[in-house]
Amino acid sequence: MHTTLAPKEQLPGEWIVLDHFDPVCVSEHSIHRAKKPYPPLPGTLSAPFDRWPVDHESINGIFGLLAIHELRTHADPVKWFAEARRVLAPGGRVILIEHLCNAANFIVFGPGFLHFHSIRTSEKSWQEAGFRSKESFRISPWVRVFILTAR
C-alpha cells in the first residue's frame, strides 16, 4: 500500500507527489525490491531529494513518510530539509513520520535498527535547515511523528 494514499484521501486540496528514488544512488537491495510491487502513483513526479520542481514558498504542508532515513549521510537529510524550507509557505508545516534508531525498533528489526536515524541525528538535520519541532508524538512503539515549523 502506498503511504501517499491515506493523506490524499483524507485531506482535500491540490497535491504534488514527489518520488526521490534514484536507482543509481540507492545501494540497498531491499529498497529496489520494495519499489517493484509499488511503483509510483500516476502523476508522481520524479525529483532529486535536494532539487524539487516546486516554486519557492508555494506549499502549505510537506509530508516525509517513512523515507527520510533512506538519506544515509548527515548532509543528505539536511539538503532535503533545506529544500522543504525553500518551498514551504510562511506558516506551513512539515509532517515527518519516521522509525528511529531506538530500543523498540531494535526489538523488531534486530541489528537493522541501525539503519534508522536517532532522534538526536534527526533533530540536528532539521535544525541545520532552519526548522524546529513544534510537536512530537508516537503513533506506535516503533514510529514517531514530528511536526516541524520554520524558525
Amino acid at 12: P
Question: What is the C-alpha separation between 120 and 93, in angstroms, rounded?
Answer: 20
User: For residue range 52-73, what is the model confidence (pLDDT) as tens digits?
Assistant: 999 999 999 999 998 888 888 8
Residues 6+ apart with CB under 8 A from 60: 13, 88, 89, 91, 92, 93
Where do the domains of the chain lie?
46-150
Least Cα distance to 116 among 70, 50, 60, 64 occurs for 70
**Residue 74 amino acid letter:** H
- Superfamily of domain covering 46-150: Vaccinia Virus protein VP39 (3.40.50.150)
Average model confidence (pLDDT) across the chain: 87
What is the C-alpha to C-alpha distance for residues 107 and 22, in angstroms, rounded to an integer? 30
Confidence of residue 6 (pLDDT cuts 50, 70, 90): low
**Cα dihedral across residues 139, 22, 81, 62: positive or negative:** negative
Check: CB of residue 92 under 8 Å from CB of residue 130: no
What is the predicted pLDDT for the residue at 32? 65
Q: Please, are residues 26 and 70 in contact by the beta-carbon 8 Å criterion? A: yes
pLDDT exceeds 80 at position 26:
no
Instruction: Please determine, for residue 28, whether its predicted confidence score (pLDDT) is greater than 80.
Output: no
Strand partners, 89: none
Q: Is it the case that residue 27 has pLDDT exceeding 70?
A: no
Higher pLDDT among residues 15 and 21, named by residue: 15
